Structure 1
Amino acid sequence: MSAQTLPDKMLTKNHMGINIAAVTIGVGILTFPRGLAKATSGFDGWISVVISGLIAFLIGWLLAKLAARFPRQTFFEYTSMIASKPVGYVLTLLVCLYTMLFVSFEIRAIGNIAKQYLFYNTPVEMITLSFLLIVQYAVAGSRISMLRLNLLFLPVVLVVMFFVLLFTSQLIEVENVRPFFSSDWRSLLDGSQAVGLSYSGFEIILFYTMLMKRPKDGTKAMALGLFIPVALYLTIYIFVIGVFSAEVAKNLTYPTIDLAKEVEIPGGFFERVESIFFAIWIMTIFDTCMIWLDITILNLASMFRNVKKMVWILLLSPIIYFVAMLPQNLVDFFTFADYVTYFGMIIVYLCPILLLLLAIIRGVRGHE
């Protein structure tokens, strides 16, 4: 029998912050410099990164306040308390739909990128299926153990990113970042929207606050969880523009991976750094997938308590895989990603904020 007490099995604010950061740093960080360079006049995109980061923190703070108001209740339970049980069922099912679509997007992204950079002759269907099976295995285990896995993975990813930036710093050309402050406010706002779509992930605070030792620390966890990706996005964008220029970055499908391709380690010890970089980055996308699938099952289990976890995993996985295979090309894939993100903004950003306002007006609170 485990010697851990219940508090020992719960998350601290630092653990939650690391989980928020790990989920936020996903596929979007590989592609966002392209959209940001298109929306702004080159180097000024860093302003859009800061603006979108501040907006994300404001939304995340509101979501953390809502979850902390109902510290030991699931999303379905406190939605039902605030707005009635029928509304709770509808909104929770929509959240499950969103999280399933997000998993489909992530596993298809793994298939596309792995085929392009690692497994040239392997069908994307087999790469995607293999990755989904690994995610299934992770989700089938302990939820707390799964969340604490990010304590191991995230530092490794950040260290690898640090070395990529270190070895590409000598390639930065000052002419690539000029002129400064040449974008108008409309372009900067468009850029904020472009990079803001890559911040999806911090909304996990809505579902995992109940696992925290001190749910009231959710806002502090949110600050830590968003500071890491915002700082990383800002640094990566500056390096991508400094190395490639804005005009080149606009035409790169995965600018961050292409940045890793420019690394030349003295002595020729590693010749294909981008493959190593992507292999490490798979860990981050794996974190994102397993957490979103777990959130899907957590929400379904809160509504249908008699269905076991493994049953949900086996039922949902074929649907997730089928949806992941629907896009026929990269244009369809990125269009699918945009639709999923906009749908999520309504379901997990706008609706919870409205629930918070309604809870304050009605004076509804949960219990420890």
Structure 2
Amino acid sequence: MNTLPYADQKIGQKEMVFIVANVVIGVGILTFPRTLAAKTGSIDGWISILISGLVASVIGWLLGKLASRFPANSFFEYASLIVSRPVAQVITFLVGIYFLLFVSFEARALGNIAKQYLFTTTPVEVITLAFLLIVQYAVAGTRIALLRLNMLFFPIVLLISAVVQLYSIQMLELDNVRPLFTTGLGALLQGSKEVNLSFSGYEVVLFYTLLMTRAEDAPKAVVKGLLIPIFLYLTIYIFVIGVFSAEVVKNLTYPTIELAKDVEVPGGFIERVESLFFTIWIMTIFNSCTVFFDLAIFNLGSIFPNVRKFTWLLIISPLVYMISLWPQNLVQFFSLGDQLVYFGIFITYLVPILLLLIAKWRGVRGDE
């Protein structure tokens, strides 16, 4: 009897591409045009996106090389082989805290935006709690089933995003994108730094390469996965600036949502495109949160293997909820996002690259 192609407990390169792309496209897609326009002041922000995307691709490739060097080991196991068990415990614990904080940030982002645009009379605490309960229920299942939800949702995300941009063409004004190439290199680099949050997430390759049928495909899968959000961010930024102008975008909290609100589909087939956009965006945030929640439990569970997964859910969930409610306003919320980016750069990018260099220097490899 032939088995179903998705009944096994392994993932292929295509699935890793979708996981990386789906996790990267999260909260940042809604806000990055504002921060980028504020730094560059023009359409030239697309250059900053390319710079940031190139840097992310190089780092992602290096992370994939590290994980593929240890195809049968978890992150904690191969970190222990490289730098000793006590040091690996500290690194893995900090990685788990990073993912825990990221779940809190994205859950609060959903609460803020849903309250502003959908549930205006519902307290943000209630919206955030309801969302986290759904995320918790999903994470309680198997890891493979969780990852394959990306295969189900991601094509829908791309389709609706394409529809929003397609019907935005009629609203483009060429005067809004002129003049070109007027931004200095310093401003472009500053803009590139602002886009970093929008590219967070591809570090999942460090932890899910263990589940790949061919671990050596991990570096290639990360780069392919990042090409999708790079292209999506480029087109969204160009359309947002082309429709509203850079000066207006600077003052919009969520420019991408405002673009979806202004879209009109001929014939009245869809009267409120932003409702459809919200639906697919919630799918994306749900996927990101479930993956990050799973990784928080996965890393903390590596250090304390005797604690069951369900127990971790009971311990972590209240912490995630309390942290998500810590920001009292948008200024504190975006400040939390910036601090999270810097923490992530250190613990999930610089430290793993250092581990790769040490592994190569010492000639450490994992079991096939």
- Global fold match (TM > 0.5): yes
* Matching of residue 317 in structure 1 with residue 308 in structure 2: no
* Matching of residue 345 in structure 1 with residue 339 in structure 2: no
CA contact (8 A) 1:24 1:200 kept: yes
Q: What is the distance in 1 between the residues matched to 2:42 and 2:205? A: 34
- Which residue number corresponds to residue 290 of structure 2? 290
Q: What is the distance in 1 between the residues matched to 2:70 and 2:259? A: 44
CA contact (8 A) 1:11 1:211 kept: yes
CA contact (8 A) 1:29 1:198 kept: yes
Pair 12,5 (structure 1): closer, same or farther in 2 beyond 3 Å: closer
Shift of 1:305: 1.4
Matched letter for residue 80 of structure 1 = S
Matched letter for residue 119 of structure 2 = F
Written as runs of structure 1 = structure 2, the 5 A alignment for 1:22-101 is 22-101=22-101
- Which residue number corresponds to residue 355 of structure 2? 355
Shift of 1:276: 2.0
- Which residue number corresponds to residue 173 of structure 1? 173
Written as runs of structure 1 = structure 2, the 5 A alignment for 1:1-368 is 8-368=8-368
Note the aligned Cα RMSD (angstroms).
Answer: 1.4
Q: TM-score, normalised by structure 2?
A: 0.98
Matched letter for residue 353 of structure 2 = I
CA contact (8 A) 2:67 2:205 kept: yes
CA contact (8 A) 1:157 1:280 kept: yes
Alignment gaps of 5+ in structure 1: none
Shift of 1:5: 9.8
Q: What is the distance in 1 between the residues matched to 2:3 and 2:175? A: 60
Q: Identity of paired residues, percent? A: 60
CA contact (8 A) 2:197 2:337 kept: no
What is the CA deviation profile of residues 160-189 of structure 1, one whole-angstrom value per residue up to 9, with x for unaligned ones?
001000111110000000000000100110
Q: What is the distance in 1 between the residues matched to 2:197 and 2:165? A: 23
Matched letter for residue 200 of structure 1 = S
Matched letter for residue 171 of structure 2 = L
Alignment gaps of 5+ in structure 2: none
What is the CA deviation profile of residues 11-34 of structure 1, one whole-angstrom value per residue up to 9, with x for unaligned ones?
101100100000000000000000
Matched letter for residue 79 of structure 1 = A
CA contact (8 A) 2:105 2:337 kept: yes
Shift of 1:196: 2.1
Pair 146,7 (structure 1): closer, same or farther in 2 beyond 3 Å: closer
Q: What is the distance in 2 between the residues matched to 1:228 and 1:192? A: 17
SS in 2 for 1:9: coil
What is the CA deviation profile of residues 92-139 of structure 1, one whole-angstrom value per residue up to 9, with x for unaligned ones?
000011000000000000000000111111100000000000000110
Shift of 1:7: 9.3
What is the CA deviation profile of residues 200-242 of structure 1, one whole-angstrom value per residue up to 9, with x for unaligned ones?
0000000000000000000111121100000000000000000
Q: What is the distance in 2 between the residues matched to 1:330 and 1:86? A: 38
Q: What is the distance in 2 between the residues matched to 1:12 and 1:25? A: 20
Matched letter for residue 233 of structure 1 = Y
CA contact (8 A) 1:14 1:224 kept: no
Shift of 1:192: 0.7
What is the CA deviation profile of residues 223-270 of structure 1, one whole-angstrom value per residue up to 9, with x for unaligned ones?
211000000000000000000000001000000000001111223343
Shift of 1:279: 1.8
SS in 1 for 2:44: helix
Matched letter for residue 21 of structure 2 = A
Q: What is the distance in 2 between the residues matched to 1:301 and 1:191? A: 37
SS in 1 for 2:168: helix
| Aligned residues between the structures | 367
Q: What is the distance in 1 between the residues matched to 2:3 and 2:139? A: 23
